[in-house]
Structure 1
């Protein structure tokens, strides 16, 4: 039987994730409070952010930026789209 959670993003009961999708405390928080459906929405948004901002995920700043956007998207009802990111100058 599927695990259900009250999804903070969708504001309703929904099927929960099978395991924490991210390391550490944040991953546990996501696992406890975010549904599979909301996580899939985030994955699509994250893909757009990476592609449109040409993020290099080997860069710690890019990973930190994505983690901040993920928290805004999932927990703060923030408007998260590919805008406002300034790539590091070479």
Structure 2
């Protein structure tokens, strides 16, 4: 059972932490230490939207670099998060 609590860099409050680093390397460790589970799930949804809207291939090095940069902006701030031109989020209906 995961009872970790972190001060989430995205939400700017204490929240339930991740059970393990969700990404390799230093960035994954930083996410593990500073990002909540709910913020990570929000990133995963945003990442899926970016992959679909821009038709990215996660195995393409340029796409991976773009997604990693967007992940840092989304989770830690430091720039405006990319939204595809004309993107309208699906309605909850």
Match of 2:38 in 1: 37
Distance across 1 between alignment mates of 2:21 and 2:40: 11
Deviation for aligned residue 1:79:
3.3
Match of 1:69 in 2: 70
**Distance apart, 1:59 and its partner CA:** 0.6
Kept in 2, the 8 Å contact 1:45–1:81? The answer is no
The TM-score normalised by the length of structure 2 is: 0.84
Give the 4+ runs in structure 1 shifted more than 6 A: none
CA contact (8 A) 1:52 1:82 kept: no
Equivalent-residue separation in structure 2 for 1:5 and 1:65 (angstroms) = 26
Q: Number of residues paired by the alignment?
A: 84
Structure 2 stretches of 5 or more lacking a match? 86-93
Q: Following the alignment from structure 1 to structure 2, what is the Cα–Cα distance between the partners of residues 77 and 36? A: 20
User: How big is the alpha-carbon RMSD for the aligned residues of Structure 1 and Structure 2?
Assistant: 1.5
Offset of 1:16 from its aligned partner? 0.2
- 1:1-90 → structure 2 map (5 Å cutoff): 2-76=3-77, 78-83=79-84
Please state how far the C-alpha of 1:77 moved relative to its aligned partner.
5.8
